[in-house]
């Protein structure tokens, strides 16, 4: 952001896409210069990992634009995007980036005015936060580590299965005939997001060099007992292994999954 302009990536659904020719009907509506648009078939196409990677590569803000519910060319693709964004905001809050750097907005191809308004509002919103710590000459290492951990967490099997099945689990019943309320489900997701984020962070840290529980506890600012609990779980899952023992302190090393 050397020129003082925020770098904004806007993913938008093919079916709400307003291109310049279409907006050209009304010359006063223009896509703000700072916004770079990427068109996808459906906003539900956007994988959380892709969004986190966009942040990692230095985007100041990411805006998703989908069709206004209940309309979606693919029935419910926009609602899937909504769930993904909900999850991503939780992850972003853990990384130290402002969750408001990511927004999901609804529009439709016949609402050019609203469409431009959304973009302009988002530019203002991002200007408030300023340049992303990852877009500087030397990216903030802590945030970078956090984003990488979040990216791995978003690629995690458990989390993805749950988000994919959210509608099924909360609206219908699972195979045991139990129905999970939305609140229960949200609590579950919150828990898993936190746990998964910490574990991925430990995994990333121990990949660089073997670390002890105490060292890890200092870096991620957590009680050593809790860190140890995660390490036990991770060892069971085959994510981490004992490297060697220095005096009486065991040092752990990440395993490639």
Partner 1 sequence: MAITNSTCVKRKLPPCRVACPAHVNVQGYVSLIQRGQFREAVELIRNDMPFPAICGRVCFSPCEDACVRVNLDQAVAIRALKRIVADIEREQGRVKPKPIPKTRIEKVAIIGAGPAGLAAAYELAKLGYPVTVFERMPEAGGMMRYCIPDFRLEKFVVANEIAYIKDIGVEIKTGIEFGNDKTLESLRNEGYKAVFVAIGTQLSRKMNVPGEDLEGVIHVLEFLRAVSLGQHVDVGERVAVIGGGNSAIDSARTAKRLGAKEVMILYRRTQNEMPALPHEIEAAEREEIKFHFLVAPKRIIGETGKLKAIECLRMRLGEPDASGRRRPIPISFSEHQYEVDRVIPAIGQIPEKSCIPAELLDEKTRRALIPVDQITMETRIPGVFAGGDIVTGPASIIQAVGAGKQAAVSIHRYLTGQDLKAGREEVEETTWVKDWESLRKKSRRYEAPIEKPRLSFEEAARFLEETKRKAMFEAFRCLGCGPCSECLAETDFCEEDKAVVDENRCSGCNICAIVCPVGAIKKNEEGVAQVNEDLCKGCGICAAHCPERAITMRRFTDENILSYALTALRRDDLL
The nearest distance, CB 115 to partner 1, in angstroms, is: 13
Interface residues toward partner 1, by CB under 8 A? 1-3, 5, 7, 9, 11, 14-15, 17, 22, 25, 34, 36-42, 44-50, 53-54, 57-59, 68-77, 80, 84, 108-110, 155, 157-158, 160-161, 163-165, 167-168
Contact 66, 43 (CB under 8 A): yes
- Using the minimum distance from each CB to partner 1, give the nearer residue, 40 or 227: 40
CA 231 to chain centre: 24
3-state secondary structure of 106: strand
Structure tokens at 79: 């609602």
Structure tokens at 163: 């988000």
- Using the minimum distance from each CB to partner 1, give the nearer residue, 88 or 118: 88
The nearest distance, CB 84 to partner 1, in angstroms, is: 7
The nearest distance, CB 71 to partner 1, in angstroms, is: 6
- Using the minimum distance from each CB to partner 1, give the nearer residue, 180 or 251: 180
The nearest distance, CB 223 to partner 1, in angstroms, is: 31
- Using the minimum distance from each CB to partner 1, give the nearer residue, 29 or 73: 73
The nearest distance, CB 227 to partner 1, in angstroms, is: 27
In angstroms, the Cα distances linking 102 to 8, 56, 126, 153, 170 are 10, 13, 9, 17, 25
Alpha helices in 8-129 (DSSP H): 20-23, 48-56, 77-95, 112-129
| DSSP label at residue 68 | P
Residue with the two structure tokens 């990992």:
49
């Amino acid at each position: 952001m050397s020129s003082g302009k925020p770098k904004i990536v806007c993913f938008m659904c093919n079916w709400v896409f307003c291109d310049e020719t279409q907006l050209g009907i009304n010359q006063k509506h223009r896509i703000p210069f700072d916004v770079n648009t990427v068109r996808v078939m459906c906003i539900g196409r956007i994988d959380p990992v892709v969004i986190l990677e966009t942040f990692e590569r230095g985007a100041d803000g990411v805006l998703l634009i989908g069709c206004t519910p209940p309309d979606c060319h693919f029935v419910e693709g926009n609602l899937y995007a909504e769930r993904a964004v909900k999850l991503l905001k939780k992850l972003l809050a853990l990384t130290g980036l402002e969750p408001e750097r990511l927004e999901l907005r609804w529009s439709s191809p016949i609402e050019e005015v609203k469409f431009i308004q959304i973009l302009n509002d988002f530019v203002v919103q991002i200007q408030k936060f300023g340049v992303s710590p990852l877009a500087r000459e030397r990216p903030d290492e802590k945030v970078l580590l956090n984003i990488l951990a979040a990216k791995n967490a978003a690629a995690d099997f458990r989390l993805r299965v749950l988000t994919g099945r959210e509608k099924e689990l909360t609206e219908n019943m699972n195979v045991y005939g139990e129905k999970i309320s939305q609140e229960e489900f949200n609590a579950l997701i919150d828990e898993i997001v936190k746990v998964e984020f910490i574990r991925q962070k430990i995994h990333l840290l121990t990949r660089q060099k073997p670390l002890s529980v105490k060292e890890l506890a200092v870096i991620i600012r957590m009680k050593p007992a809790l860190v140890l609990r995660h390490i036990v779980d991770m060892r069971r899952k085959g994510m981490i292994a004992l490297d060697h023992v220095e005096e009486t302190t065991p040092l752990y090393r990440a395993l490639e999954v």
